[in-house]
Structure 1
Amino acid sequence: MSAQAHPQFALRPFLAEDAPVLAEIFRESITELTGDDYSEAQQEAWIESSDDVAGLAKRLAGALTLVVTMQGSPVGFASLAGKDKIDMLYVHPAAAGHGAAAMLVDALEKLAGARGAEKLKVDASDTARGFFEKRGYVPQQRNSISLGDEWLANTTMSKALVKPEAVKPS
């Protein structure tokens, strides 16, 4: 999907001053979107794992992080760690299901390919697994992650990237 498919959204690089609003998007995304897959205690542990705004800012600045905006305001973000791993993907609940996450992942896939990655991997939450499967990601293994006193499950998934020179004009 191209940016033109989502005219209400725009992409831009992460800026340090984005950290407080992205931390809020992180919290609201977990609180409002993951309740069918994770208990309240698991959600709280997940939120606490990145609840330090300065720590989140450092993590996002240390990766290639994109912010999706609507009318100039951030509504989601995603980061590429190294050249081949989606580290974080969070969208505000009001923007979920409207193409913001797809726009972010499309951009990260292109950037990863441009960096020489042959495949892209992600540790997808149970909530995000279906989203990634629809985009061609294949489950590789189940994981149990310890956060505080809680255990959360996720799935390592990967997708082969099409090399730019392999794309044939239509």
Structure 2
Amino acid sequence: MTDKTALAIRGYRLQDLSPLVRLFTDSVHQLAASAYDETQRNAWASRTPHLDTWRARLESLETLIAEDGDQLAGFISYEPNGHIDLIFTTPNSARKGVASALYQEAEARLREAGVTSLFTEASVVARPFFERQGFSVESEQKVTVRGVHFLRYAMRKALQAPAR
């Protein structure tokens, strides 16, 4: 994305399911390769994902999609309580403002809904992004996914109420 005006953010639709899961898988396997080995990446993002599991997960979340022209560029999924569950971009959209634009839209919506604190569990790769958004590490966590161990960070950010 070179022109920020080309980026459009909209709500998730069911027809986004398969491209969104493909984006997630590609993102984990390409953008997280420097921090996680192949075994970890395969446990985190199976090359043969279960779309029914993803459908159920996304139905329980608010999800925003970023499109650059007619191409899916990224997504963010969050809960009404301020939990940021997922934020991923395509490898080609990394470090081009897509994740920041998605995050800013989600934060604005949550702030408007009266949420006073945001929290997430950030990967090693995502931690610097969240720190740039004003999050602080509350704790380091060691988790196991499909029998594989990962390091992640519980992070939080206090929000100011919107100006009225």
Mark yes or no: TM-score above 0.5: yes
Q: 1:64 to 1:54 in 2, by over 3 A?
A: same
Q: 1:15 to 1:34 in 2, by over 3 A?
A: same
TM-score, length basis structure 2: 0.93
Contact 2:65 2:74 in 1 (8 A): yes
Amino acid at match of 2:78: L
Instruction: State yes or no: 1:126 paired with 2:138.
Output: no
CA shift, 1:50, in A, is 9.0
User: In the alignment, what sits opposite 1:104?
Assistant: 102
CA shift, 1:55, in A, is 1.5
Counterparts of residues 63-102 of structure 1 (less than 5 Å): 63-102=61-100
User: In the alignment, what sits opposite 1:37?
Assistant: 35
CA shift, 1:19, in A, is 0.4
Q: Deviations over 1:98-140 (max 9, x none)?
A: 0000011001111111221111011111001011111111000
Q: 1:109 to 1:49 in 2, by over 3 A?
A: farther
User: How many percent identity over aligned positions?
Assistant: 26
The count of corresponding residues between Structure 1 and Structure 2 is 162
Distance 1:50 1:87 in 2: 21
The unaligned stretches of length 5 or more in structure 2 are none
TM-score, length basis structure 1: 0.90
User: In the alignment, what sits opposite 2:150?
Assistant: 152
Amino acid at match of 1:79: S
Distance 1:72 1:145 in 2: 37
Distance 1:15 1:64 in 2: 11
How large is the Cα RMSD of the aligned pairs?
1.7
Contact 1:83 1:116 in 2 (8 A): no
The unaligned stretches of length 5 or more in structure 1 are none
Instruction: State yes or no: 1:20 paired with 2:36.
Output: no
User: In the alignment, what sits opposite 1:140?
Assistant: 138
Amino acid at match of 2:99: A
CA shift, 1:76, in A, is 0.9
Contact 2:25 2:47 in 1 (8 A): no
Q: Deviations over 1:36-69 (max 9, x none)?
A: 1111100000013992122112211211100000
